[in-house]
Structure 1
Amino acid sequence: MHAIGIDIGGTKIAGALVDELGNILRADRQPTTASNPQLIEDAVVAMVERLSEGTDVTAVGVAAAGFIDASQSIVYYAPNINWRNEPFREKLERRLGKHIIIENDANAAGWAEFRFGAGRLVSDMVILTIGTGVGGAIVSGDKLFRGGFGAAAELGHMRVVPDGLPCGCGARGCIEQYGSGRALLRTANELADAGGIGIGLAEVRARVGTLSGLDVSDLIQAGDPGALLALRTLGHWLGQASASLGAVLDPQLFVIGGGVAQAGDLLLDPIRAAYLDVLPARGFHPEPEFRIAELVNDAGVVGAADLARIYAESI
């Protein structure tokens, strides 16, 4: 059974026709009109019709950043789109006549990684996606964990520092403030200000004006001591967060995704070390694996399509 996955972001809508093995057979994308829910609905309907032309498609999964209710029907809050208690599933079902599910974008991407990427050989997995912020998803017992209200696995807002840095969610000390791409840049700038080990960072900043993520990434790959220290600091905090998650969930695998994950073992090593430092009964307690995500830009559409296909087969 083929299914369609749609991934709605703040700037673009991506879509794909996906087979049962996670292969993309046809793809489409267009800009998002984030302020106008009706235009988004129209765009999704048109995209589904284009992608399904000449193919028997019965299920569509839509992934979007935001809080989705437990029935996978209503987007009750989206940070980047003007959706508040939006009955998106009902609207799409009425217009398309297909089985529809609505899913959080991080959950959809995490599910794709579990089914077809780094997590395909385990039953219990946590994925942390390191970008501008920190996203994530949890798979437990081969099932995506959504929680009682549908808004579980907001992993970026797990608190790791009591009364720590203020977060955009309104709390303080969230891992997003210590383990994200923005946190990496903040630490890199602090090291550049301090001189010493940060001299390489300072020199690049003086030359280009403002450090970017690409600048820091290039310095990491070049072995710059300051950039590597900033990355190890990031990894330490992510390891601390993973340890808290491990104590509750006992996953077999942690998957690290997002742009920062391109650093590979340079990032995984400090994450793993910080995790093991606080592992209860170390030496006797099984140790989870840490891997870099295998799926990148297509994870959202692939995961959304697969979840929709599974839903359609179950009814």
Structure 2
Amino acid sequence: MVILGIDIGGSGVKGAPVDPVRGELLDERYRVPTPQPSDVSAVVEAVAEVASRFPGYDRVGLTFPGVVVDGVIRTAANVDRSWLAADARALFAQRLGRPVAVLNDADAAGVAEVAFGAGREQAGLAVMLTFGTGIGSALFLDGVLMPNTEFGHLELGGVDAEVRASDRAREQEDLSWERWAQRVQQYLRHLEMLLSPQLFIIGGGVSKKADRYFPLIDIRTPMVPAALLNNAGIIGAAVTAAQAAGHTGPLTVDAAHAGAYPG
């Protein structure tokens, strides 16, 4: 069975076939820019363009930058609002002609990291955070995903945390690593107070520069950079689709909740 993973982001849509047992890409990933405006029809066609580069796939796992409940989009902070209440699993399954599973993008990245990366075999409570356009989050208890957390929208300094501590905030405000690390530290300490986790896994593009800011952050909880970097969403989406097909490998997400399209 060939599983295709596709990661829908605020700036790009990228995908590749995945080995869901080893957590590895089977081909070089293909990327297209996220359409602007990122309305339903335009994004569906962008996904179809990515999928067309990899013929012969049996199932598709898709990430989406918002809350996904039973395949239906509930929030759309960084894409067009036409996605609100859209049945993404039905739309993509109809266009691609394959069974589809859909889940939140940070959840997908976390699934991959817990199955194959920095969170593998981590007991207790682990929190995956992706710092990018916003702050995505994924919560795991003994390796099992608690889906659709939105910890990037916790209040910090009177605004959503991601307004102050995302990587976009660092770039837009031209913050030094030291000043940005102070904001990230404040945010992580707030999460520590709320959750008392055993581990923070830090993902997103900025995780590649962990050496620039990790030493500047003083918190109690161990903190590690994501191991799978920008492939995590693709891999986690494919793992979710594999579970929907009854796969028994190292999977950590409820396929029914992810909105696996039957077939």
Distance 1:292 1:118 in 2: 7
User: Which letter does structure 2 place at the counterpart of 1:37?
Assistant: V
Give the counterpart of 1:181 among 167, 191, 194.
Answer: 167
Match of 1:159 among 155, 160, 166: 155
Q: Aligned partners of 1:184, 1:235: CA distance in 2, in Å?
A: 10
Report % sequence identity.
Answer: 33
**Deviation readout 1:216-250 (Å, 9 max, x if unpaired):** 4xxxxxxxxxx53x144134313312313433xxx
Structure 1 residue ranges without an equivalent (≥5): 147-151, 165-171, 190-210, 217-226, 277-287
Alignment-mate amino acid for residue 234 of structure 1: R
Residue 302 of structure 1, CA deviation: 1.2
Q: Structure 1 length normalisation: TM-score?
A: 0.67
The match for 2:3 is 3
Mapped partners of 2:44, 2:133: distance in 1 = 27
The 1:246/1:60 distance shift into structure 2, 3 A limit, reads same
Contact persistence 1:131–1:260 (CA under 8 A): yes
The alignment partner of 2:26 has SS state of strand
Cα distance, 1:99 vs structure 2: 2.1
Q: Is the 8 A contact 2:35 2:42 kept in 1?
A: yes
User: Post-superposition shift, 1:93?
Assistant: 2.4
The aligned counterpart of 1:42 is 45
- Relative to structure 1, the CA distance from residue 17 to residue 239 in structure 2 (aligned partners, 3 Å threshold; closer, same or farther) is same
The match for 1:30 is 32
Shift of 1:261: 3.5
- In 1, are the aligned partners of 2:106 and 2:233 still within 8 Å (CA)? yes
8 Å CA contact 1:34–1:40 kept in 2: the answer is no
Letter in 2 for 1:243: E
**Structure number with larger C-alpha Rg:** 1
Q: Distance in 2 between matches of 1:64 and 1:2?
A: 21
How far residue 255 of structure 1 moved from its aligned partner, in angstroms, is 0.9
**Aligned 1:89-238 pairs, distance under 5 A:** 89-123=89-123, 124-146=125-147, 152-161=148-157, 164=158, 172=159, 174-184=160-170, 211=174, 216=176, 227-228=177-178, 230-238=179-187
- Structure with the largest fraction of helix: 1
Go from structure 1 to structure 2 and tell me whether the alpha carbon gap of 1:130 and 1:40 turns closer, same or farther (over 3 Å shift).
closer
2: CA distance, partners of 1:183 / 1:76: 25
- The residue aligned with 2:257 is none
How far the C-alpha of 1:62 sits from its partner, in A, is 1.0
Which amino acid is the alignment partner of residue 179 of structure 1? A
TM-score (norm 2): 0.79
- Deviation per CA, 1:99-147: give whole Å up to 9, x if none: 211111111112112222111121442012222432221112322111x
Give the drift of 1:262.
Answer: 4.0
Conservation of the 8 A alpha-carbon contact between 2:156 and 2:187: no
**Contact 2:137–2:150 (CA<8 Å) still a contact in 1?**
yes
Change (3 A) 1:108 1:312: same
Residue in structure 1 matched with residue 74 of structure 2 by the alignment: 76
2: CA distance between counterparts of 1:232 and 1:33?
A: 32
> Does residue 218 of structure 2 align to residue 289 of structure 1?
no
Offset at residue 91 of structure 1 (A): 2.4
* Structure 2 counterpart of 1:246, one-letter code: L
